[in-house]
C-alpha cells in the first residue's frame, strides 16, 4: 500500500466513525408532568439524514405510546450555526411534513424556543404553515395548565 492508499483507508475509517456517531445521535423524548404530554428537545446540528432519524424515532415512540395527545418540540438549543448544513427550503419542508403528519394522527404540536435567525430562515424560505409556538417551554406549559390540559 502506498501513502495515497493509506490516506484513503484512514479517511474511510474516519467517515465510518462519523456515520456511526450520526446514527447514535438520539433525541430524548421526555414524559411531561402533564399527562399525555411529551417534550422533545432538539439539540445539535440538523441535516437531512438526522432530521429523518429524529422523525422516525418520534413516530416509533408515538406508535408505542398511543395515549400521547400533545408534544412540545423545543428548539431552544438550535441556533443558525446548527442549521448551516441544511438549506432553508429543505428545513422548512421537513418541519411542514412533521407538523402535517402529527396533525393527521391527532397530536397537538407546540413548538418552543425558536431563535430569531432560525425563524427568519423558515420565513425566508417561504414557510407559511400556521404553528402553535411559544418563546419558551415554560410559556407552553403555563398555557396548557391554563387550558386545563394534562391535569387529571
**What does the pLDDT look like over 135-149, one tens digit per residue?**
999 999 999 999 998
Which residue reads 402529527 in cell numbers? 102
Distance spanning both ends of the chain, measured CA to CA: 68
Q: How far apart are CA 61 and CA 120, in angstroms?
A: 30
| Beta-bridge partners for 39 | 30, 72
pLDDT band at 82 (very low <50, low <70, confident <90, very high): confident
Relative to beta strand 70-74, strand 132-134 is unpaired
CA distance 117 to 79: 7
pLDDT in tens, 87-129: 888 989 999 999 999 999 999 999 999 999 999 888 888 888 8
Helices (H), the chain: 3-24, 48-64, 88-104, 116-124, 137-146
Cα 69 from chain centre = 17
C-alpha 81/C-alpha 7 separation (Å) is 30
* Dihedral sign, Cα of residue 134, residue 140, residue 146, residue 150: positive
> What are the chain's domains?
27-146 (3.30.750.24)
Name residue 134's beta-bridge partners: 112
Nearest alpha carbon to residue 71 among 149, 151, 152, 146:
149
- What pLDDT is recorded for position 129? 87
Span 37-46, mean pLDDT?
Answer: 91
Amino acid at each position: 500500500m502506498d501513502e495515497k492508499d493509506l490516506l484513503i483507508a484512514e479517511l474511510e475509517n474516519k467517515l465510518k466513525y462519523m456515520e456511526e456517531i450520526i446514527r447514535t445521535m438520539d433525541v430524548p423524548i421526555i414524559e411531561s408532568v402533564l399527562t399525555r404530554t411529551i417534550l422533545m428537545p432538539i439539540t445539535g446540528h440538523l441535516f437531512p439524514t438526522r432530521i429523518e432519524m429524529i422523525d422516525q424515532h418520534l413516530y416509533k415512540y408515538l406508535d408505542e405510546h398511543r395515549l400521547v395527545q400533545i408534544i412540545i418540540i423545543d428548539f431552544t438549543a438550535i441556533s443558525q450555526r446548527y442549521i448551516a448544513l441544511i438549506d432553508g427550503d429543505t428545513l422548512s419542508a421537513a418541519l411542514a411534513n412533521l407538523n402535517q403528519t402529527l396533525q393527521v394522527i391527532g397530536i397537538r404540536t407546540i413548538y418552543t424556543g425558536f431563535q430569531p435567525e432560525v425563524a427568519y430562515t423558515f420565513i425566508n424560505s417561504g414557510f407559511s404553515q400556521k404553528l402553535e409556538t411559544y418563546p419558551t417551554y415554560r410559556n407552553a406549559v403555563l398555557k396548557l395548565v391554563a387550558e386545563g390540559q394534562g391535569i387529571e
